[in-house]
């Protein structure tokens, strides 16, 4: 097995674990992943410049309470420790910025779902407008997002309203293995069916 | 996956929003499942691809049966096995919307198959549904119904085709009394069905085997055949068999009800239906009968024949139709008719050899009601004798005492014969008497009907109930 394949498999297992945990919260109604032929295309986007594309790992819709009928997309990082998370988070921010402008309906909630925190000293700043702008203007993102390498030009093109929207939509979810099993038990799920409205008439 | 389901599902990619695509997929799958088994209701839930909340709920209201369907966008057997662990208690159907083509390592698939069999869960894909419904053969339709109700293991397109093909060949084998194709068909079907459905499937073959003269002890299955059959199985037997062995039809109808017959939906023509009804006329119970039209005494009457129409068992002669229903509310709306001359009523009562317990007669501007007291017969009443001799009197209704001791009330205005309150009658008791009274049929026609309903079998074989 080559290195790329191992990485791909690890990613796939992480997506599976993340999907399962989200389902177990009972707050997800529909869910699909980019590993699938049937729905993968809905999670794919194109960078505005440079001709490359990117995708989110999981998408779907939430249910219940204030989140009812709200869409979500998630990026999953199943790392045991920080690894390359900081750089990848910056990329994720740029992806959210682009995705929101392309398909805002898919972007009610944009979730960074990982098993390890990163840059914990500045954890409380990860979703501020300043951090978002900093990541957008990062050298790896600036050209594919704004079509320029000039920070001044990019700043002039930067849409503040979109940045503001992202501050309200970004989630940072950090799981641990124990948390994955700290959910409804299989024995109880049948009772949960009624609670979740499965046995009612379809809406 | 290039059959009609595959083509329909591939169109999902034309739907550019998640909601519209999900709805399209669920509707398409629901429609295909329902077309394969119209007795099933399919309900869509608000969930899609959820680990433990189903996408579709299949119900068979008449059987009190339910099965959950989990649609899966990812066909990876390792993912499916993980999901199955969470939902195995409900013995569900997991239907993948994509086909797993990575066959480099068969182990995960084998492990999934073992887990699915252990959990009595079915893991299948559109290609398999396609194969099960591709043959336009009644037996594969029964097979796909059985798979929906109690299929288990991993069933993909290839395995479904193999089971369906052998089912068709085996069914021909049952009709020509060849044991090997039957053995092969049952063995393949049993590998993908739970005990209940495998029993039902085997029993169907056995019914056909016996219907073609095969001895029960020679039927090639060691299986202790149990499990009731459904209306669809009954429809298949009726459309497949044409034996006139009345003993066979009597055995088939051991616990048959009128409700089960009318559940077959519209059914015209098969002689087997008539044989089944007449062989079990003393077992099929109706609330009443309503007639339409009239018999022309000048026309030679062919033997009346049976059908199922408008939720009723129907007997149709030349110019007339009689609807037998399990409940009064199931009878079709009546056409207003005229009463019958008292002389004709008396003649019919005499022919039937029964006692009249009540009559309502209309004469000019008066209506007269005469009721027998105790064991008296209204026909013997002097008042009634006067009415009859006077001529021109019309009877609007009459009640007769049946051999079972209950009164049958014939209402000539609505063309309906029923008992008091909730009284029911066997078709054998109700049919000839009611038709003779309501339609004023001649002795020759009704005696034929009576005789057909009294064909007794000798040495009846006791058999557990065949029908649910």
Beta-bridge partner residues of B292: B321
Say whether B98 and A38 touch across the interface (CB within 8 A): yes
CA distance A159 to A155: 8
Note down the domain range covering A50: 3-194
Listed residue (A136, A203, A177, A140) closest to A13, CA to CA: A177
Whether A201 maps to a domain, the answer reads no
Q: Which of B6, B16, B30, B45 to mutate to test the interface with A (most CBs of A within 10 A)?
A: B45
Q: Are A93 and A135 in contact (CB under 8 A)?
A: yes
Whether A49 maps to a domain, the answer reads yes
Whether A200 maps to a domain, the answer reads no
Whether A199 maps to a domain, the answer reads no
Provide the token pair at B353: 């050899």
Say whether A38 and B52 touch across the interface (CB within 8 A): no
Say whether A198 and B54 touch across the interface (CB within 8 A): yes
CB-CB: which of B51, B74, B85 is closest to A23? B51
- Computed over every residue of chain B, the mean pLDDT equals 85
CA distance B456 to B460: 9
pLDDT greater than 70 at residue B445: no
Whether A202 maps to a domain, the answer reads no
Provide the token pair at A165: 């929207």
What are B23-64's pLDDT values in tens digits?
999 999 999 898 877 778 999 999 999 999 999 999 988 778
- Higher local confidence (pLDDT), B211 or A203: B211
Closest-CA distance, B264 to chain A, in angstroms, reads: 27
Chain A residues touching residue B73 (CB < 8 angstroms): 32-33, 36-39
CA distance B280 to B141: 27
Closest-CA distance, B46 to chain A, in angstroms, reads: 6
Whether A131 maps to a domain, the answer reads yes
Q: Which of B18, B19, B28, B92 to mutate to test the interface with A (most CBs of A within 10 A)?
A: B18
Chain B residues touching residue A203 (CB < 8 angstroms): 46
Name the pLDDT band for B134 (thresholds 50, 70, 90).
Answer: confident
What per-residue confidence (pLDDT) applies to B461? 42
What are A12-61's pLDDT values in tens digits?
889 999 999 999 999 999 999 998 888 989 999 999 999 999 999 999 99
Q: What percent of chain B has pLDDT over 90?
A: 44
Whether A203 maps to a domain, the answer reads no
Q: What Rg do the C-alpha atoms of chain A give, in angstroms?
A: 18
| Model ipTM value | 0.91
What are B250-278's pLDDT values in tens digits?
877 777 889 988 988 887 766 889 989 99
Listed residue (B293, B335, B292, B289) closest to B312, CA to CA: B289
Closest-CA distance, B17 to chain A, in angstroms, reads: 7
Q: What percent of chain A has pLDDT over 90?
A: 80
Whether A129 maps to a domain, the answer reads yes
Beta-bridge partner residues of B42: B58
Closest-CA distance, A46 to chain B, in angstroms, reads: 16
CB-CB: which of B13, B18, B57 is closest to A30? B18
Beta-bridge partner residues of A174: A114
Full-model pTM:
0.76
């Amino acid at each position: 097995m080559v290195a790329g394949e191992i990485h791909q498999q690890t990613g796939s297992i992480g997506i599976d674990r993340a999907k399962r945990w989200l389902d177990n919260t009972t707050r997800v109604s529909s869910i699909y992943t980019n590993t699938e032929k049937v729905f993968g295309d809905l999670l794919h986007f194109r960078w505005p410049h440079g001709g490359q594309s990117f995708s989110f790992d999981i998408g779907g819709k939430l249910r219940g309470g204030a989140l009812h009928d709200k869409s979500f997309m998630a990026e999953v990082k199943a790392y045991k420790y920080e690894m390359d998370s900081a750089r990848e988070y910056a990329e994720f921010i740029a992806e959210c910025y682009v995705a929101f402008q392309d398909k805002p309906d898919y972007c009610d909630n944009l979730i960074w779902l990982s098993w390890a925190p990163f840059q914990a000293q500045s954890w409380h700043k990860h979703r501020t407008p300043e951090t978002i702008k900093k990541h957008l203007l990062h050298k790896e993102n600036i050209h594919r997002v704004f079509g320029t390498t000039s920070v001044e030009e990019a700043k002039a093109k930067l849409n503040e309203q979109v940045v503001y929207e992202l501050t309200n939509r970004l989630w940072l979810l950090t799981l641990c293995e124990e948390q994955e099993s700290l959910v409804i038990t299989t024995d109880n799920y049948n009772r949960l069916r009624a609670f979740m409205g499965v046995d009612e008439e379809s809406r | 996956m290039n059959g009609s389901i595959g083509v329909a599902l591939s169109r999902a990619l034309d739907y550019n929003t998640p909601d519209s695509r999900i709805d399209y997929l669920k509707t398409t799958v629901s429609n295909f499942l329902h077309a394969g088994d119209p007795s099933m209701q399919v309900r869509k839930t608000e969930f899609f691809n959820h680990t433990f909340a189903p996408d579709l709920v299949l119900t068979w209201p008449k059987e009190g049966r339910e099965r959950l369907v989990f649609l899966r966008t990812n066909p990876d057997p390792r993912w499916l096995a993980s999901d199955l662990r969470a939902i195995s208690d409900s013995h569900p159907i997991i239907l993948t919307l994509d086909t797993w083509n990575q066959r480099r390592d068969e182990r995960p698939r084998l492990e999934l198959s073992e887990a699915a069999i252990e959990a009595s869960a079915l893991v299948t894909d559109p290609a398999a549904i396609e194969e099960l419904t591709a043959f336009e053969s009644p037996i594969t339709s029964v097979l796909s119904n059985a798979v929906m109700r109690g299929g288990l293991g991993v069933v993909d397109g290839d395995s479904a085709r193999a089971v369906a093909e052998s089912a068709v060949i085996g069914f021909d084998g049952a009709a020509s009394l060849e044991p090997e194709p039957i053995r092969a068909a049952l063995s393949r079907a049993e590998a993908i069905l739970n005990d209940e459905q495998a029993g039902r499937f085997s029993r169907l073959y056995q019914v056909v085997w016996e219907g073609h003269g095969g001895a029960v002890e020679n039927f090639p299955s060691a299986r202790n055949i149990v499990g009731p059959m459904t209306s669809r199985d009954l429809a298949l037997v009726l459309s497949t068999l044409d034996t006139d062995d009345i003993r066979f039809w009597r055995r088939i109808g051991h616990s048959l009800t009128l409700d089960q017959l009318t559940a077959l939906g519209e059914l015209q023509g098969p002689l087997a239906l008539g044989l089944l009804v007449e062989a079990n006329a003393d077992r099929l119970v109706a609330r009443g009968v309503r007639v339409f039209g009239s018999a022309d005494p000048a026309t030679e009457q062919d033997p009346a024949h049976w059908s199922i129409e408008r939720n009723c068992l129907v007997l149709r002669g030349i110019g007339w139709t009689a609807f037998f229903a399990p409940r009064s509310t199931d009878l079709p709306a009546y056409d207003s008719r005229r009463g019958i001359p008292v002389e004709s009523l008396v003649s019919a009562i005499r022919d039937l050899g029964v006692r009249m317990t009540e009559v309502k007669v209309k004469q000019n501007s008066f209506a007269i009601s005469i009721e027998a007291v105790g064991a008296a017969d209204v026909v013997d009443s002097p008042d009634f004798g006067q009415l009859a001799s006077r001529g021109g009197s019309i009877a609007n209704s009459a009640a007769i005492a049946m051999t079972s001791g209950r009164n049958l009330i014939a209402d000539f205005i609505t063309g309906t014969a029923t008992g008091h309150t909730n009284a029911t009658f066997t078709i054998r008791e109700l049919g000839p008497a009611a038709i003779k009274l309501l339609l004023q049929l001649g002795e020759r026609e009704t005696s034929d009907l009576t005789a057909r309903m009294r064909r007794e079998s000798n040495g009846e074989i006791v058999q557990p109930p065949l029908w649910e």
